[in-house]
Structure 1
């Protein structure tokens, strides 16, 4: 149960990033476009869960983790570019630090729980 809560908290932060872009628009998105965005955002996780449940392979795990790390680096690079243009380097730096610390805290709780 603790692991599920941890994943929910982790995924909520991804939702904030998607919603922030939608909130910046003057037009309110339709339910169908929100459903499509949810499918785009959550579909790969669902497919990955199905594949991971039936296929255990160290090389494949490393390949997928490398792909995830590259995606995260891409997002960070884009975030830094946006922060530079908006002259919000201090806020971005503090939020990156807070996110990193929350990640470590989540890992500590999951490890302490023995999951």
Structure 2
């Protein structure tokens, strides 16, 4: 379920990237690609964390399938987003990306609560937010 949630989120990310690029907002598209790329690098942990919490060891083929379910929709969403261009859809795509990642965050926080790691979770949430702001600052300073 988390892989599907991440996949929906990544599809919406792709929609936002494609829509921004198609509208000529290259700086926004680049910011989205960098930001999404950075946080997507860790999404595998979110997919396998519940399995690890239940002491389940998935096969390599299962991991590849989960990776395709979670990551593949970004590419498809980018292609679709390039062809559907208007302001209302752009807002909807960004909202869909935000809503679907909130679902994933809620699931991951439930896993962290069961593992009784509140301090680590809190610090990592803060670090993630700070890294997001830092990425935005670097991209803005670079004039992209």
> TM-score under structure 2 normalisation?
0.65
Superposition RMSD in Å: 2.7
- 1:17, distance to aligned residue in structure 2 (A): 2.2
SS in structure 2 at match of 1:27: coil
Question: Structure 2 vs 1, CA of residues 6 and 84 (structure 1 numbering), >3 Å: closer, same or farther?
Answer: closer
Query: In structure 2, do the counterparts of structure 1 residues 2 and 60 end up closer, same or farther at CA, with 3 Å as the change threshold?
Result: closer
Q: Is the Cα contact below 8 Å between 2:31 and 2:139 reproduced in 1?
A: yes
Cα distance in 2 between the residues matched to 1:97 and 1:32: 34
> How has the CA–CA distance of structure 1 residues 88 and 24 changed in structure 2, closer, same or farther, with 3 Å as cutoff?
closer
Does the CA-based 8 Å contact 1:83-1:89 persist in structure 2?
Answer: yes
Q: Where does the alignment leave 5 or more consecutive residues of structure 1 unmatched? A: none
1:37 equivalenced with 2:79 (yes/no): no
* 8 A contact 2:35–2:132 mirrored in 1: no
> In the alignment, is the contact (CA less than 8 A) between 2:112 and 2:118 conserved in 1?
yes
Contact 1:83 1:92 (8 Å CA) reproduced: yes
- Offset of 1:71 from its aligned partner? 1.4
In 2, the alpha carbon distance for the partners of 1:23 and 1:85 equals 12
C-alpha change, 1:28 and 1:88, in structure 2 (3 Å) is closer
Q: How many residues align?
A: 115
Q: How far apart, in 2, do the equivalents of 1:97 and 1:5 lie? A: 19
Contact preservation (8 Å) 1:2, 1:110: yes
TM-score (norm 1): 0.78
Distance 1:68 1:12 in 2: 16
Change (3 A) 1:87 1:4: closer
Deviation at 1:97, TM superposition (A): 0.4
User: Which shifted more, 4-13 or 100-109?
Assistant: 4-13
**Match 1:99 to one of 110, 128, 131:** 128
